[in-house]
Structure 1
């Protein structure tokens, strides 16, 4: 057998091979971090403060930066969060996100000595509202910059725009529904200046940066862009449709830009879009059927926009969809059956639209659903039994439809994952067992069974220990509230609403309600008797109006330091208000104790820094002088002290309250002449004033008419409703409430209700006093007036033609005076005038004809013997001059003003339509908190079955 021989290498060859191996091994060794960069990192570390209580993220957590220590020749490239270049050893990456950094960074920071940095992530730290240093512009090699949720503040420096290598830029503030303010802003430079040079961008996230401008069209040229998030930026104008067609764009987020308009374009095949979020924008039009071409789309959120038309059946071809949110638009028609093809859906939200038809039984085929929200539509029929087979369902919202029939609540108890259920405000009868076993029921967090014909408190509630909100209003619950009701979910409950039932009391004489986190308690519109229950110290809003409670307000109320809204109206409470109440009212927004029998003087309600916005103490027996609300009630917007026994002159001192918009002092014992204002800026924001049924005398306050500038012409296109907003934060959820002013104007049994008053609404009522003289011509300058009432006085002279300038006027009452002459023809120009009364004067001549004057009845003119024309039977012809008698008592008089008011300008409710919104579920909190504000919530009470009125 022949063997192959291999020549042995020479010594020279061996040396050559050895050198190659050695050289190769040296080339593979990571070079050490440069000393100057190591020093810079340590100095950067030393510029921050670390507190253990800020870093308890989980047991054993240690910030990366705390492990950095100078240890001789130790390589800083091995430090946590540090990445070095494999060849040069320069630091090219620094990831210190969510590492408890607390302090500030300025342009002299040693961070900016790391000139080779390509990636920098400082997100989720606390830089103490410092400015973003312009020295970031010196890090010219940066490709990835993340400063999100780092609590920088102010203008984003232009230097960021010099980072032309940036591929990813994140300056966002990841927000929830309650965020009110932006921290960072883009003014000079604006968005265009910042982004114009960043042509390599693939990811741009500026969520919650205050941009307040239009979206620059050149963003549609950034062909590399894959991710664009501009939510809550104050954007306006029309959104450039070219951005939808960017060839690589996968995620587009524009939510919470209420003034940003636009529409969805016709889509083309090949688009990589996976996520579209347009909630709370002004996008409108239809959803085009071509949306079926977005075959990669998994998330579509267009809630609270202005979309109309049918929900396109083509959506059923987007079989990758996991989230479909179309709530709070104006979609109509039936739910398309093609949606049953979306078998991967876990979130279907179609609430707050105009959908019709029956609940489709095929929805039960979407077995992956965790959220099914169909509230506030016009859906009819029964709840399909197949729904109870949705075993993965966590949230089911069916409230506010026209569903009928009976529902066996035990079927829901078999859905073990169900934590949120809304059935209220249908025509359903919910049947519950009298006894339930704890082990067999789901643990609810959100439960609303209002208006479900319940006759007793459901027994299964005894075993609920995770409830956050419980709504049982508008049922037929009677008898006493059981003691066990106050012990359910003590650690978690934030809201209990058992209003509008037939409950008569409590099973103890002086109820002190327990609770660790109870924030809102509504017991109003029942028949509760006994003493006023004392809520827990955690209470935020306490609503117990329209009952039959008696006795005094306990001084224990003075300890409710979290209380913002207190509703005690329409009871039989008496005594004096505790002097210590100012300990609470100083931080309170609303105090409503109207329609009771309180007496004595009103205690001091404000101290320095008071937040009090509204006071309603009307319809009581308070006496003495009007309360001096100065100088500390400077936030007050509305004061109603009507129908009491105050004996005082006109409170000109209220004129220095800068925010006062509503002043109601009707039906007291006020007297004297209303003197001229001392300063030209008194009552700078007053829009509603009611001084009727007092004893004021002298001439009408013309000098005030001249300076009440807020009653002059206001741009109605920019007006909003008179309201107050407040936010309540709990341990596991939060909500924001909107509190609206309302009034009801009555005219002999006819009601004109202003359920929500616009902030440009202007109302003046000086009726039933002793004013004399003429109506001053300057009244015509208050062209924003909607309601004007000078009836039941001793006014004389002619009706001024300048009233024809009041183009917004809806109601005018000049009855029971001594006016003479003709009705000015200029009044026929008042096209909004729907109520008009000049009865029992000494007017003569022809009644104006045309427009609104063709709608008024005889009663508007009775007692004027020389008036003629339609609608009177007396036709116009030559007539003799009629001289008025000396006293108004010579006339036939009505008993009281022809227009009477029921003032409830603080008829408070959480967001008329959806006032308390619930954020529930880990997924919903992160992806769409607004959704459950709109669906799992309360509405303002409307259509009360009982409402007691004082006579």
Structure 2
């Protein structure tokens, strides 16, 4: 019981999973009312004004709806009003203008409509105005210029139009201005020179035109400038960066011309330079060669010319360098390459010439694209030392000499393109030992000899092109050669099976007669007969391993498809069908039931997933998924179907479903799961041809094995909704732009990964009813991540989740930041899969949360 005369001034019930309506009360002395981060529903009570003494009102992060009641204006002392991340609708009340004490308004992530009221300009004490992620329309009111104490103005992701009003430049104290993702137009005014305290300026994804104002160069504190995806033209201001403190500059996807200014890195802090898809010309400035802070450089699709500056190839922090599709020239073998962090290098579609360098000074190189240049000489044997390489493209050059055997040492190589060169000799037989090789293009060269028969035994190989060479003899009759398109073998003297249209059949009869004639001198006729019979049986069995089988059973006719003859010999149709019984049930889900099966021949375990009847179109798509081979993707071994049902046969992973353990695993294990799925996405998006979309990335589709490795089970989107025309999905785990029948994209997969990260961080699922599907959980997460609630959220996350240590707080914050980037409403603003892996690696390396020995768990590259 409170002591006599004691007055309660503060009531904080945040982050308690409270449900129901906001209670009514009459507490005129209360100064702080914080009910944020709960599950409250309904509307704000009409008599909320009874809290007349309030200074802080925070209802953010709930499921409240309706309009803001007029009675809030009775709280004349209110300084902080936070209603963000709810479902409020209607217009922002004009009468807020009479609440003169307000310093903070946060109404983001709601459904407010209409215009921003002019009366906002009467709140002269306002420091922070945040109206993001609503449906506000009209122009930005000029009355905002009266808010001379304003430091943060966030209006992004609305439907605002018109120009930036001149009155905005009265806001001399403005530190951060974000008007991105609207329909604003007109020129960017030179009046920006008046905002001398500005640090962050985001105007991207609008319709701005004209030149980039030179006035931006005069802002001494400017760190982040993002103007991408507009219609800006003219030159980049020559003094940009000279007097700024630039760390991030993104001017991509505009119509800019002229040269790249020399001063962009004068601050010595620039780490991201993004200028692609413009019409920039001239040489790469030598000053960038001394910008040791640079990490990511993307200047592709311009008109840059000249040679690479010598010091440019020794930048110590660069991990991503893309200067493709320009007019650059010169030799790169005479330049010292020492870029120890380099993972991705793209010099394609330029005019570089001369021999290839032996090294690029990095042990981390994953993607190397030097195609469509004028490189000559041989392929260096030292390329076999690129142990992390997953993609190597050297096509459309003038390379000669044999293909070095050493390339087969690149055990992680998925894509190899050596087409349109002058290479000679044979295909190295050692290529058959490359475990994940998926695409091989050797077309339009001077290669000779037979195609190695064991190349058809590379299970991961799905696409081969050897056309227009001088190969002779028979094609392998297995693997990727089984149903190869005739265009991929034209221009040779090859023969093959009857299934390959346009290619003559091999005349095995003549060879057999010659062989029989020779062998009759060496062996008795009985032994010869036995050998012939044995060979015939062996060839027939090999052929059966890849053919479609039809088997009669009590349930009717089953079609069975294996793409691996070894699997055919170890699992029978009887094993698969008989596994579908209740005592073998291990999982059930929206798309079907899963059963644990066991081969009667080899005791091999497998997972049989029962699904709805598979249409012909979806059947072909499943066949493509059988070719995928990655350590973080559950292998699809075979498919069966009848008129009434289908069965998918996966490898059996000994472990637990992520949905069963996500609440109880340590932070280290959660981060490892995220890293594994990111690696899987990187493989599926970047190293499969065509790239593979996951559709849904849910915890139920992720198995975590005994070594804490995550394995993503692929399935076609909406398998039990498949028809002969399309397969579609409307799950809570898919991106908003792909709801209904729209096709999935790489960016929609990234969105799903962001939802998975939020669930790993918080334990909250987008399918839980209290969160109102995925929009609710994302808005809640963004609210928690806002400046005013970040510290509180991290503390509660550490307390409420088993295994989270206080030393992990930096990792938690950075991971949540990545999750919010992934779930951005604009697909173009989401990172790609390569960036996911890079960011997660950086998160682990930069924190003391996980020991160096622990990091080895994450450090396995794809």
Using structure 1 for the length normalisation, give the TM-score: 0.45
Using structure 2 for the length normalisation, give the TM-score: 0.49
Higher Cα Rg, which structure: 1
Q: Which has the higher contact order (CA 8 A, sep 6+)?
A: 2
